[in-house]
């Protein structure tokens, strides 16, 4: 998300602070914020949150649930142009330096389920 869009969002929340009920977490997401060298990644979100705590991935929002009255911050808000060089970034191809690779691939390896090969997540175009 661009800084401008974030600023507009922040503005909208300043005008309407009582958020009320937020939209349910999306069933499925196409992750393409950093798409450059590799194709966009299909992420079956619901298949993940049925068995895993939200904060496993939304790690800055401890206690987040399906019914939370809380705005969910996309990873891109902090990881696309991270303040610190040491913070993983979605534009990195390394399995150790991209927040998605660390989050997604490390869990798939640990749980022996889910894709771990480059082309399984980034289908050849």
* Cα-to-chain-centroid distance, residue 78: 10
d(CA 34, CA 80): 7
Q: Is 26 in the site for ligand HEC (CB under 6 A)?
A: yes
d(CA 3, CA 78): 11
Judged by beta carbon, residue 15 or residue 60, the one nearer ligand HEC is 60
The answer to whether residues 36 and 93 touch, using CB atoms and an 8 Å cutoff, is no
CB of 21 to ligand HEC, least distance (A): 12
Question: Which residues within the stretch 57-96 sit at the binding site for ligand HEC (CB under 6 A)?
Answer: 57-60, 64-66, 72-79, 87-88, 90-91, 93, 95
The answer to whether residues 60 and 78 touch, using CB atoms and an 8 Å cutoff, is yes
Q: What does the binding site for ligand HEC look like in residue numbers (CB under 6 A)?
A: 25-26, 29, 31-38, 40-41, 43-45, 47-49, 52, 54, 56-60, 64-66, 72-79, 87-88, 90-91, 93, 95, 98-105, 107-108, 111, 113-118, 120-122
């Amino acid at each position: 998300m661009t800084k401008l869009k974030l600023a507009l969002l922040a503005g909208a929340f300043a005008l309407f602070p009582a958020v009320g009920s937020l939209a349910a977490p999306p069933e499925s997401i196409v992750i393409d914020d950093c798409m450059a060298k590799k194709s966009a990644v299909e992420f079956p979100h619901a298949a993940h949150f049925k068995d895993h705590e939200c904060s496993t991935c939304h790690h800055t929002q401890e206690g987040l649930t399906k019914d939370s009255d809380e705005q969910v911050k996309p990873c891109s808000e902090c990881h696309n142009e991270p303040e610190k060089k040491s913070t993983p970034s979605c534009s990195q191809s390394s399995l150790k330096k991209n927040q998605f690779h660390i989050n997604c691939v490390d869990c798939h390896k640990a749980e022996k389920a889910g894709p771990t090969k480059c082309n399984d997540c980034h289908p050849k175009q």
